[in-house]
Structure 1
Amino acid sequence: MIGIVVSRADPASVHIGDHLLELDDWGRTTDDTRPDGEGGGTVHRTPGFELRTFDDLHLDLEGVADVFADPEFVVFASKHAGDTGPLLTAHHTGNFGPADHGGADGELAHSCANAQARVLDALREHAPSGYDVGMEGTHHGPTDVGAPSMFVELGSGETEWDDPDGARAVARAVLDLRGVGPYRDRQVVGFGGGHYVPRFERVVRETDWAVGHIGVDWALDAMGDPADDRDVLRRAFEQSGATRALVEGERPDLVSAIEALGYRVVTETWLRETTGCLLYTSLMA
């Protein structure tokens, strides 16, 4: 089952939630064990999904998976804010450095790289005319969800947050996740680049590798010296279910720290060449 989080504090989230309920046949039950503003009250269920509504913003909802009935992963239906025009996007959550917007310092939520790859495909399929689709680096809270999770977002301003076509596209993409698992056998961690990550998105789109956490340039700068923050780097691999990394740009200190932890840095060429091929021991060394 996939848990869907809708936040009353987020107009786009409410709008996406309305379209989710319109697009499928949902049953309604009442959860009297917790307050309405904390995911109790009316609960909506349809095969493969459970939708609950909260008063707080998503990034403040730590431990939210415990509210659901043992979800495989959690989807936060959310707005995206930025100077990026009409945009549908997805990303994982966590803080490589200080927690300026929810979560804890140096902590990362469990990613769901396979589900993110699938939802990006679905967003591209359903995106209305004029909307771009993108993937972002890891940022903001929550960091202790209790299950793998990701944000799926409608942006980038009030016009889009109120756009029924955009909200419906996000809702359709989320529902297309029915039966999709959070992980696949081939997952990498990403490092480097700008906040929007076209190179890593290209890897997801054009190879059979999925990408978990992505520490973009500004997040790595916030983390500090990689040699002093190996615990954060280790968490990026552990919370991504990955043993390999793709690094954008020249970052020899980062590469050394990754290799010192026992992980491997690979190239985009290697990811392409291994797509569709068995990974023999010689390739995995």
Structure 2
Amino acid sequence: MVTLVVATSADPASIGPASSLLAMPGWHPGPSLQDAASYTNKEVRLIKLDKRLVVENHLDKRWEEATGETVDDVVFLSKHVASSNRPALTIHPIGTPHLREGEALTAGGKPGWAAPPNPRIGPWFRLLKNIANSHNLVPEFGVTLEATHHGPEINSPTMFVEIGSTEEYWKRQDAAQAIALLVWEGLGLGERIAVGNWSRDNDRNKILLGIGGGHYVPRHMDIVQKDGVWVGHMLPGYSLLMEDPREAKSPTNSAVVGGTWREIIRVAFETTKLAFPGGEVLAHLDHKSLKGWQRNAIIRFLTEQNIKIGKPSDFCPC
């Protein structure tokens, strides 16, 4: 079982951390993947591509077919773009469950799809905060989770680790070094034990499925920043496509609130469950961000699906 770390020369915030990582000891040339170079270090395989990452579909399957190695999980190194232009280091799961058939795939993926979230997301977010603080990147850089979004289509547990939010920061060597150190320590390439390896025997077996909130999921993140918390998909309010029943003059319950929101939640729940075998996935609602009719419909639907709703204290083993 190997971990794929994927970078592209088309993105300075991707190739920068990859170059810093390859400057660390223990790397050796690996097999090529359709003319893309790779490098090996213990159970890690770093692949250097030359296209946009969001269109590189099924990299896990392509690697397995080319090498015979089974892919355990995938980490993409990428740039982050935000209208605020604020410098940031971000981590997030991927998927486009809110897209409908026929909609343009401007950022990869496919309608109604989400990849299993990489179990390392929560532990690596906390590790990244520590690294950013120790390297004096904070407060200039924000360290944040993001909601589930974009492609590429893939079936292995996956996450994106990003530097934002403008070209000036994408090229920052200190940010690249911090991301390289995150991968180095997180995957146990140095002397320390890898961070964020999930086990079905883990006694901290509750996983947060975030529902509601903005793109940077602040209320979910408040919980995930505590030691020992595991996190799966995080669905922002804008991705929950719900039709206001007041416009249809219908009673407010999950059976009549139209839209594709049920399937979006179901896909996020099932893929999170797949990523954490033996764990218990609990929904965490950002109540303040949801309107009353939305909150009522979601709670009713979760109850119908036997998906438990967790309080902040349910996720923290401390």
Structure 2-normalised TM-score? Answer: 0.77
Report how far residue 84 of structure 1 moved: 4.5
Report how far residue 202 of structure 1 moved: 1.8
Q: What does residue 197 of structure 2 align with?
A: 181
Per-residue CA deviation, residues 42-81 of structure 1 (Å, 9 max, x unaligned), is: 3200113110112221111211112333222100001111
Report how far residue 100 of structure 1 moved: 4.3
CA contact (8 A) 1:186 1:208 kept: no
Match status 1:247 vs 2:280: no
SS in 1 for 2:23: helix
State how far apart, in whole Å, the 1-side matches of 2:302 and 2:59 are: 31
Q: What does residue 235 of structure 1 align with?
A: 267
One-letter code of the match for 1:80?
A: H
Match status 1:133 vs 2:143: yes
Q: What does residue 102 of structure 2 align with?
A: none
Q: What does residue 112 of structure 1 align with?
A: 118
Match status 1:268 vs 2:317: no
One-letter code of the match for 2:282?
A: R
- Specify which of 214, 226, 243 is matched with residue 194 of structure 1: 214
Q: What does residue 97 of structure 2 align with?
A: 96
SS in 1 for 2:94: coil
Per-residue CA deviation, residues 254-275 of structure 1 (Å, 9 max, x unaligned), is: 1111221111112224434xx2
CA contact (8 A) 2:240 2:264 kept: no
CA contact (8 A) 1:96 1:222 kept: no
State how far apart, in whole Å, the 2-side matches of 1:148 and 1:238 are: 13
State how far apart, in whole Å, the 2-side matches of 1:216 and 1:151 are: 17
- Specify which of 194, 205, 217 is matched with residue 237 of structure 2: 217
State how far apart, in whole Å, the 2-side matches of 1:223 and 1:11 are: 40
- Which blocks of at least 5 consecutive residues in structure 2 are unaligned? 64-68, 100-104, 188-193, 245-256, 274-279
State how far apart, in whole Å, the 1-side matches of 2:71 and 2:258 are: 34
Match status 1:164 vs 2:173: yes
CA contact (8 A) 1:119 1:176 kept: no
CA contact (8 A) 2:242 2:261 kept: no
State how far apart, in whole Å, the 1-side matches of 2:39 and 2:177 are: 18
Q: What does residue 34 of structure 2 align with?
A: 35
SS in 2 for 1:206: coil
State how far apart, in whole Å, the 2-side matches of 1:48 and 1:254 are: 41
One-letter code of the match for 2:130?
A: E
One-letter code of the match for 1:111?
A: P
Per-residue CA deviation, residues 87-129 of structure 1 (Å, 9 max, x unaligned), is: 111000011311542111121111023x011211221122243
Report how far residue 35 of structure 1 moved: 2.2
State how far apart, in whole Å, the 2-side matches of 1:226 and 1:266 are: 25
- Which blocks of at least 5 consecutive residues in structure 1 are unaligned? 277-285
State how far apart, in whole Å, the 1-side matches of 2:305 and 2:81 are: 36
Q: Which protein is bigger by CA-based radius of gyration?
A: 2
The equivalences for 1:141-160 within 5 A come to 141-142=151-152, 144-160=153-169
CA RMSD of aligned residues (A): 2.2
Report how far residue 226 of structure 1 moved: 6.7
Q: What does residue 123 of structure 1 align with?
A: 128
Per-residue CA deviation, residues 13-38 of structure 1 (Å, 9 max, x unaligned), is: 1111111101232011342xx422xx
SS in 2 for 1:176: helix
Per-residue CA deviation, residues 200-221 of structure 1 (Å, 9 max, x unaligned), is: 1221122533111011011113
Structure 1-normalised TM-score? Answer: 0.86
State how far apart, in whole Å, the 2-side matches of 1:229 and 1:122 are: 33
Deviates more, 1:146-155 or 1:56-65: 56-65
Deviates more, 1:2-11 or 1:222-231: 222-231
State how far apart, in whole Å, the 1-side matches of 2:85 and 2:15 are: 21
State how far apart, in whole Å, the 1-side matches of 2:18 and 2:44 are: 12
CA contact (8 A) 2:207 2:315 kept: no
